[in-house]
Structure 1
Amino acid sequence: MTQSTTSTSTSRATTAIDEVANAYFDGLIERNPDFATTLGLPGRETEYGDHSPAGREAEAAAARETLAALDGLEPVDDVDAVTLDAMRERLGLELEIHETGVVELNNLASAAQSIRSILDLMPQETAEHWEHISGRLANLPQALDGYIESLRDAQSRGQVPARRQVATVIEQTRDYAKDDGYFERLAQDAVVLDGELPAELRVELTKNARVAAEAYDAFADYLEVELLPEAREEDPVGRDYYALMSRRFLGAEIDLEETYAWGVEELERLIAEQREVAEAIKPGATIEEAKELLDADPARQLQGTDALRDWMQEKSDAAIAALKDSHFEIPEPMDRLECMIAPTQEGGVYYTGPSDDFSRPGRMWWSVPAGEDEFTTWAETTTVYHEGVPGHHLQIATQTRLKELLNNWRRHACFTSGHAEGWALYAERLMLDLGHLADPGDHMGMLDMQRMRAARVVFDIGVHLGLEIPEQWRDELLADGGASTWTPEVGFEFLKRHLAISEGQLKFEFTRYLGWPGQAPSYKVGQRLWEEIRDQRRQNEGEAFDLKAFHTQALAVGSVGLDTLRRALLPS
């Protein structure tokens, strides 16, 4: 199977397989109005999806019906073959996960956060927009009630989240609900471009914001009173569930022990490369000394979030201008990316895709932890390329734009973390190869981020599977001569040595890895698989290999699982 498309302008007729995929996508939007908001699709702006057990079962039933509808259908072209491969892999895996009965609760990627965060993507320019926001605030308690019902159902069957995750989400949701918290600020800051909101709407908005805040307070009460006492003490999820999650985030089945050993080797290789760059910054300097010199350089410092946002936008615009037409296809309206400071203070940088018609552009968001007001550009240049161009924005905007080639499920609903995050890390390294990270400071920053991702491979697999700590690290990590297998506590000290981020970010990331098993390694492992596919294509094609053409074809496949991507790009 190979998807031979080499131009993002290619069009094709809708096939029977496309019709099944589009029908599944339409049902997905019907069941999840908040997902429609993510895509910028109008019509049900005040509604939420059903987070209850009935809603979860409806999703599983739709997957079963879709897989049954695909049985017996034959691909009419390469695009069809990829769709069939991807749908069977993605939907089949989600049914396996559904059968475990686990309801996710963690500090970043669960309904506890998404029920609130969808409000960040709703437009705020007109009175009608604020009516939509007010209506969704009014419906927010029902969404949380459904989620509580699912958590209770899972708890009744012995499926409970880890205590650390429950305690963290309690803290998060209390923060949402507090006086001068997210909801109160949202109502207070409500304005429209042509003046103040009508008085009646402002009263309603204030009331519904309070209703939403009270719902999150009640949700935190439930977590504290009912779930926390029953939460499991241990963080690791064990091999069987971890293997499922690894497949979810990679779309590929990997040898976990081999990947763990590779992660150890890759981490040590990156540290050696950092030592070489430190020598270029100052002869004889250690990595730590070189980074101290970079931190102290006034030319590399930013003060305040406004300066951070402006710098992000400048770097992003420059990357688009430099890469457009020369190394990638970046036609209008894909050449617009908006950089934003997130309204939360949870830590992390993330990307949200454009609306289907690109009226809302792709956006890069920086969630700055409370109290952090100083930033260094050398450490963050690579992040701009990761989240923007040629990273996530190029990837997501490309598949959004391909209306005449890909069905709606392929464009909007098929997402695999290892594909997306692996591409973004691939993009970071590519920017070094293309000379955009030639400055030793920016090079050091890129290596810091790559080092972090390699450390996460080791931490995530090692802790969740309880593997042996590499012998060469034991004296450093096990000063008391304790057991030689990974524990969260030992893992935290390990992360402190390898993640060049603030204390607030470190605590957030540590909790995230424990509560979202398999996701963090998908970055570096995804990069590994992307580079393997590219290098195999280069070897197969020899002097005829064209890197830009490869990128164009690869991105046109969309965010499928990495095993599906390999089959699409490498003829058997």
Structure 2
Amino acid sequence: MSRRPPAGPERSPRTGPVRIPTAVDAFAEEYYERLLALNPEEATVLGRPGVETQYADYSPAGREAMAQMQREALAQLSELTPVDSIDEVTLHAMAERIGLDVALHETGRTELNNLASAPQGVRMVLELMPAETEADFGHIAGRLSNLPAALDGYWESLQESARRGHIPARRQVQAVAQQCRSYSEHDGALSGYLRDARTAGVSAANQAALAAGTSAAQEAYRLLAERLERELLPEAPETDAVGIEHYRLASQYFTGTELDLEETYRWGLQELNRLVAAQQEVAAAIKPGATIEEAKEILNADPARQLIGTQALQEWMQRLSDEAVAALKDVHFDIPAPMDVLECMIAPTQDGGVYYTGPSDDFSRPGRMWWSVPPEDESFSTWTETTTVYHEGVPGHHLQIATATLVKDRLNSWRRHGSFVSGFAEGWALYAEELMAELGFLTDPGDLMGMYDMQRMRAARVIFDIGVHCGFDAPEDWGGAAWTPELGKEFLRAHLPISAAQLDFEFTRYLGWPGQAPSYKVGQRVFGQIRAEREEAARAAGEHLDLRAFHTELLELGMIGLDTLRFAMRP
């Protein structure tokens, strides 16, 4: 329990007075509860009990029910009056987010891609469920048994989307069908729950329920793979690009701002050139006269920078993460307990990529960093991955999401959990990567080279994603003609420091998730611009910007769109 001053207003355990909830907060709470009622998986993310076995309705009827609830909420927003700046930001953010949700629904498209569509989501929620007690395994068994209905509803939506002329590209259909088959294998991503139950010594009845649920879920994935290949694939277009009209809307959803796509594309080219030049400077520090590739070969040949096997990777991730939290806490950032705990995990899948899942609302389940390692990847270089740990952990995603989770005394639940904007989340994480260099945590030239590698990758994605989907011309040194996916893949190969398996996954991801990949650098750009504005205002007042306080102010906003961020952080 926090100590309180003897007189004056009640104080927050963090900074400032405890805020009395307003009518705007009450509306946001009510809206969020309706949202959760339609999306039980999100309740599991929060650690809320009561709906552990349920899934959302992914059918056309379920999607329309969600959209209708959101239309009604938009109409009600206009009747609310803010009483303070927090209310103003809430109303601004809700109107922007909910409005885009409705706009995307009305396009009639159902998303299918290799990372962020229903086939992956209904499986991934199982990873967040407790798996220790008899009751825990009963919940997992129940959700597994309900997974087939969720995928059936999703298939209905894919069919409806196809009837409206929106069929996912052939590349995405093939990729997801392959994923579904991998999930359905007897030793696939769904196979471990029964094994864990036996290890935990749960009852024979629960083991039988888990076996039945696992079998049903695996069969559901096999069926979806067959449907995709038999019914959707023959009609799927070869063209990956979605065109500038849909791209503009998708980009706005991921960033919370309407981009000037041509200007952003040109800026991406400039940013890529800047980062390559910075890498060349680091290469010279590693060995005078060395090229970037020669410097990387030197780093890769250093045994002290190598990890062999996923266990070594997991242990290194955890050690580096713990060290970062200890060094940054109460010095550069506010990191109070319980958000000073972060678990590093090897994911049960082997798709490639690294991701973060937030803590439960009460922090009984901590934030977690997951590494999905392709089976052919057996060795890992620390110099390439140090910045990834900072990106996913502290001061990146974990600090941002855990901070928003913690500030119950000032933000409503929708602000803390109900709004997700990639441009904010990923923009902050990229900003955090460069900030670690600024704060002196990347003095090792190898780690600095790795950070620039990751930044360079994100800049290249701005060019690839906008260029391919919008039909822009490639730069002259890449032929000067309109981008094609094949040319784009070679461009990515030249700039993305990842394995061949990871490149295949990322290439397919960008083509199937238009607008998301550029949101990282776009968001980072806005965070940097806001900081520069604040620093200029501080200089004009004869002061220095308190970075620790500035970052806390940013993160206590919750996850909002970039236009709302500018609105909230105006000097």
Residues in 1 aligned to 2:15 and 2:378: alpha-carbon distance in whole angstroms: 41
Identity %: 62
Whether the 8 Å CA contact 1:8–1:556 is kept in 2: the answer is: no
* 1:213 aligned residue (206, 214, 218): 218
Residue of 456, 477, 483 corresponding to 1:472: 477
Corresponding residue of 1:478:
none
> Structure 1 residue 322 and structure 2 residue 322: aligned?
no
Aligned match of 1:157: 164
Q: How does 1:249-260 map to 2 (within 5 A)?
A: 249-260=254-265
- Aligned counterparts of 1:6 and 1:551: Cα–Cα separation in 2: 17
How far the C-alpha of 1:8 sits from its partner, in A, is 4.6
For residue 96 of structure 1, the aligned residue among 75, 87, 103 is 103
1:403-552 equivalences in 2 (<5 Å): 403-474=408-479, 484-542=481-539, 543-552=543-552
AA aligned opposite 2:166: Q
2:155 to 148, 162, 170: 148
Query: Which ranges in structure 2 are unaligned for 5 or more consecutive residues?
Result: 1-11
Once the two structures are TM-superposed, the CA of residue 178 in structure 1 deviates from its matched residue by 1.7
- For residues 457-503 of structure 1, the C-alpha deviation after alignment (integer angstroms, 9 at most, x for no partner) is 000000001101112332xxxxxxxx711010000000000000000
Q: Contact between 1:9 and 1:402, CA under 8 Å: does it hold in 2?
A: no
Q: 1:337 to 1:191 in 2, by over 3 A?
A: farther
Per chain length, whose mean CA-contact separation is higher, i.e. which structure has more relative contact order (CA < 8 Å, sep 6+)?
1
Give the 5 Å matches for 1:255-294: 255-294=260-299
Look up the match of 2:5: none
Tell me the distance in 1 between the aligned counterparts of 2:376 and 2:305.
Answer: 20
The structural deviation recorded for 1:514 is 0.2
1:7–1:552 contact (8 Å) kept in structure 2? no
Match of 2:43 among 36, 48, 56: 36
Matches within 5 A, 1:10-89: 10-89=17-96
Q: Residues 140 and 98 of structure 1: is their aligned pair in 2 closer, same or farther, counting only changes over 3 Å?
A: same
Shift of 1:218: 0.6
1:479 matched residue in structure 2: none
What letter is aligned with 1:396? I
SS at 1:334 equivalent: coil
SS of 2:197's equivalent in the other structure is coil
Asked if the contact 1:184–1:206 (Cα under 8 Å) also holds between the matched residues in 2, the reply is no
Amino acid aligned to 1:281: I
SS in 2 for 1:294: helix
Are positions 1:312 and 2:314 aligned together?
no
Which ranges of structure 1 fall in alignment gaps of 5 or more residues? 475-482
Q: Deviations over 1:186-236 (max 9, x none)?
A: 3233346xx412112112211110011001101111101111111111000
User: 300, 312, 316: which is aligned to 2:305?
Assistant: 300
Q: Matched residue of 2:293: which SS?
A: helix
1:246 is paired with a residue whose SS is: helix
The one-letter code of the counterpart of 1:545 is L
Amino acid at match of 1:541: A
Runs of 4+ in 1 over 3 A off after TM superposition: 5-10
Q: Which residue of 2 aligns with 1:169?
A: 176
**Normalised TM-score (structure 1):** 0.96
Find the partner of 1:247 among 236, 246, 252: 252
CA distance in 2, matches of 1:109, 1:17: 31
2:534 touches 2:545 (CA, 8 Å); kept in 1? yes
Larger displacement relative to structure 2 (441-450 or 64-73): 64-73
Distance 2:376 2:336 in 1: 39
Matches of 2:428 and 2:203, distance apart in 1: 46
> What CA deviation, in whole Å up to 9, does each residue of 1:61-111 have, x standing for no partner?
111111112112111000000000000000011111111001000000000
Question: What secondary structure, in the 3-state scheme, does the structure 2 residue paired with 1:46 have?
Answer: coil
Maintained 8 Å contact 2:155/2:224: yes
Contact 1:302–1:308, Cα closer than 8 Å, also in 2: yes
Counterpart Cα distance in 1 of 2:174 and 2:430: 32
User: What is the RMSD of the two structures over their aligned residues, measured on CA atoms?
Assistant: 1.2
Alignment correspondent of 1:124: 131
Q: Which residue of 1 aligns with 2:204?
A: 199
- SS of 1:338's partner is strand
| Number of matched pairs | 557
- TM (normalized to structure 2)? 0.96
> Which amino acid in 2 is paired with 1:549?
A
Of the structure 1 ranges 58-67 and 439-448, higher mean CA displacement relative to structure 2 is found in: 58-67
CA distance in 2, matches of 1:16, 1:224: 50
C-alpha contact (below 8 Å) 1:6/1:553 kept by paired residues: no
CA contact (8 A) 2:333 2:552 kept: yes
